[in-house]
Amino acid sequence: MPELPEVETIRQSLSPLLLSCEVKEIEMFCPEVVIQYGDAPVLNTFIFDLRRRGKYLLLDLSKDRSVSQHVSTIMVHFRMTGKLLYKDSFEEAAKHTHVRFHLSDESGEKRYLDFNDVRRFGRVWLLPPGGEKLDPGFSRLGPEPLSVEWTAANFFSQIKRRPRSTVKALLLNQEVVAGVGNIYCDEALFRAGIHPASRNESLSESDALRLQEAVREVIAEGIGHKGTSFSDYVDGLGNSGHFQLQLKVFQREGEACHVCGSEIEKIRVAGRGTHFCPVCQPLEKKD
DNA sequence: GCCAGCCTGTTG
DNA sequence: CAACAGGCTGGC
């Protein structure tokens, strides 16, 4: 499930614990989830950076602990139910732990990092430097929503490119903007007052600007609340997030809209469960 | 574009 | 028991 705010929270939670740890061993309980490009070294390397791009998390590895000499990268995509869990002492691998990285911290203590995924949709890549670009999904990612690269002009051009598609499909498309998933998509559309099934061609310039700002807001607030936990998501230490308490429409079918009191509805748009307020988000038809 | 399929667990 | 779940790919 993790969307951008959850992956960012995982990154922030793991960074202080993993930086300068040495990778001593990799146990693959389910090799099918591991994709390896080239033969970049991972064993006896040191984690010197944790990066995020869209919903991907990347751990950069160096040959030395003291000098950052990038020799390889571990990349993770969590898809629906993936988790990356840090353990400061040994425990038996859980039922759905597919990969375990054995680590040694600066003082030589043994630590563990488990990739766990009930549905086995998630993936772990072992890559040479820059190898993330070999993954088609990664290489096609659009701009980061909180970066200056995601300009109004950029968003307008993506909208014009897909006139007959719905705005829901637009925001879920990782080529348009990286890291938005079903939760933050529904929340952004509510804030912008736009019906999720609206055709992109029906959006005015001010609709588009409002929507872009709403995406930035919900993503930033999601990070601020350390992600949304309503079933599976926890950070690298097993802690839940809090943004589920701030949700205005997602998972609120039949409940009262906080703005107008109408019942929140759930429909299917772009093949996904979609929550919205029929009064605050009217469907405008323009052709 | 849409939607089945990938998987397992949970819910109605 | 069938339907559904927050993502993404690939086949139409």
pLDDT for A66 equals 87
Q: Among all residues of A, which ones are annotated catalytic?
A: 2-3, 55, 272
Q: For residue range A10-42, list pLDDT tens digits in order.
A: 999 999 999 999 999 999 999 999 999 998 999
Reply yes or no on whether the pLDDT at A284 is more than 80: no
What's A262's DSSP letter?
P
Query: Which nucleotides of strand C come closer than 7 angstroms to any CB of the protein?
Result: 4-10
Closest to A271 measured CA to CA, from A183, A169, A120, A178:
A169
Distances in whole angstroms, Cα of residue A103 to Cα of each of A60, A86, A90: 14, 10, 11
Q: Considering chain A, what is the average pLDDT of its residues? A: 95
Q: For residue range A201-238, list pLDDT tens digits in order.
A: 999 999 999 999 999 999 999 999 999 987 788 899 99
Nucleotide nearest to A183 (CA to C1'): C6
Nucleotide nearest to A165 (CA to C1'): B1
Residue-range domains of chain A with CATH:
4-139 (3.20.190.10), 152-276 (1.10.8.50)
Reply yes or no on whether the pLDDT at A265 is more than 90: yes
Strand B at less than 7 A from CB of A164? yes
Please tell me the distance from the alpha carbon of residue A195 to that of residue A276, in angstroms, as a whole number.
Answer: 7
pLDDT for A94 equals 95
Q: For A185 and B3, how far is CA from C1' in angstroms?
A: 20
Please tell me the distance from the alpha carbon of residue A138 to that of residue A174, in angstroms, as a whole number.
Answer: 9
Query: Which of A 24-63 have CB under 7 A of nucleic chain B?
Result: 32
Nucleotide nearest to A172 (CA to C1'): C7
A263 CB contacts (<8 Å, ≥6 apart)? A254, A255, A256, A257, A278
pLDDT for A237 equals 93
Tokens for A54, please give them.
Answer: 């869209």
Q: Are A140 and A132 in contact (CB under 8 A)?
A: no
Segment A159-188 shows an average pLDDT of 96
Q: How confident is the model at residue A287 (pLDDT cuts 50, 70, 90)?
A: very low
A59 CB contacts (<8 Å, ≥6 apart)? A18, A47, A49, A50, A73, A74, A75, A76
Q: How confident is the model at residue A285 (pLDDT cuts 50, 70, 90)?
A: low
Q: For residue range A105-139, list pLDDT tens digits in order.
A: 999 999 999 999 999 999 999 999 999 999 999 99
Strand A97-104 versus strand A22-28 pairing type: antiparallel
Query: Which nucleotides of strand B come closer than 7 angstroms to any CB of the protein?
Result: 1-4, 6-9
Measuring alpha carbon to C1', the residue closest to nucleotide B7 is A119
